[in-house]
Structure 1
Amino acid sequence: MAEKESVQFPVPGFRFSVRIAGAGNNDADASFQEISGISTEVPVEEIQEGGENRFVHRVPQPLKYSNLVLKRGVVNESSGLTEWCKRTINSGFATHVELKNVVITLLSDTNKPILTWTFINAYPVKWEYSGLDASKNQIFIQTIELSFQRFEENIQNWRAAVQKLASLIN
């Protein structure tokens, strides 16, 4: 009997956690419904060489990161993240900007880390609430955008999670 071929399956992206280092008694901040902005881009500068009409030189520039966007339903309890945003945004730069590391972890079905992104020296740059509409029955959403210096990705139990998922399907 031939050995089973290893099949690769994508990992679902709906189970994750967010931690903000130094954001109060409990660094974990829960109940985020959506996270976006985990991206990196290498911008290029185009330089046209005199007398060369067949192409332009494309020179890489420093990395560019988009803002990290966190969305969650508003609850009637304050959190370390909310307090940090209030202090940073409402101060009008009268005080120094607190830089914090934000860690987002993609979790397996047993809550074991699969992928971890650490956003270095993050700070809030936008704080927004969803619109109010009496004709719709929707959750009131808070959106927080964070700027950061860079991020690091760490693959932790990727192979184990993929193997477990494959064994469940087979």
Structure 2
Amino acid sequence: MKVPFFITRSGHYDPIVAVRFIVLFNAVTLGFQSVSGIGRSQSVDFISEGGRNDYPIRIPKPQTEPHRLTFKRGYQMRKLSITGLLAGYVGSQAIEAKDALGLILVLDESQSIKAIYSFISQGVVEWEVSNLDATRSEPLIETFTITHKGLKNIPIPSLF
């Protein structure tokens, strides 16, 4: 298996190039360390048609489990400001909103959009923060999972 290899214009290896992304909830831009669960799966049954049994026919099953996306972000302790508090409040309200339009924009090194994934959020179903430990200087990591109504890959028109 080949490992992705990304070289910047200056000739240095840069693994971050592959994972630049922006997440929007109801047009509010939020920063995240990682997003997982981007994908699609469909349960199917196979049946044989009477008189034509040379191959099975694929029948999609109804979705039994909700689609999920998990987001992680870190917080550093800084001097609080009214602007920071308002931005955090607006961001939290956008994440918590049911039927919020979500977009994940994947960018390349030159900040050009390479992929867009859209979803309609059904709200937060799991939320957790990392352990609080005053003896360590690690950032607080917030992890939450939403359910959604299905992920769509929006095609990006090619300019070439």
Greater strand percent: which structure? 2
Q: Which runs of no fewer than 5 residues in structure 2 stay unpaired?
A: 7-14, 48-55
Contact kept in structure 1, 2:74 and 2:141, CA below 8 Å: yes
CA distance in 2, matches of 1:44, 1:65: 16
CA distance in 1, matches of 2:66, 2:159: 28
When the two structures are superposed, what TM-score results if normalisation uses the length of structure 1?
0.61
Change (3 A) 1:28 1:117: same
Q: Which runs of no fewer than 5 residues in structure 1 stay unpaired?
A: 1-8, 48-55, 89-96, 161-170
What are the within-5 Å matches in structure 2 for residues 1-170 of structure 1?
12-21=17-26, 27-30=28-31, 32-45=32-45, 59-63=59-63, 66-74=67-75, 77=85, 78-85=88-95, 88=96, 98-134=98-134, 136-156=136-156
Structure 2 counterpart of 1:140, which letter? L
Aligned residues: 130
What is the CA-CA distance between 1:125 and the residue it aligns to?
A: 1.4
Query: Quick one: percent identity of the two aligned structures?
Result: 24
Change (3 A) 1:159 1:15: farther
How big is each residue's C-alpha offset from its partner over 1:5-25, in whole Å with a ceiling of 9 and x where there is no partner?
Answer: xxxx89953100011115xxx
Change (3 A) 1:140 1:120: same
How big is each residue's C-alpha offset from its partner over 1:98-141, in whole Å with a ceiling of 9 and x where there is no partner?
Answer: 31011001001111110000012442212211112345442210
Say which SS state the counterpart of residue 93 (structure 2) adopts: helix
Change (3 A) 1:79 1:157: farther
Contact kept in structure 2, 1:115 and 1:158, CA below 8 Å: no
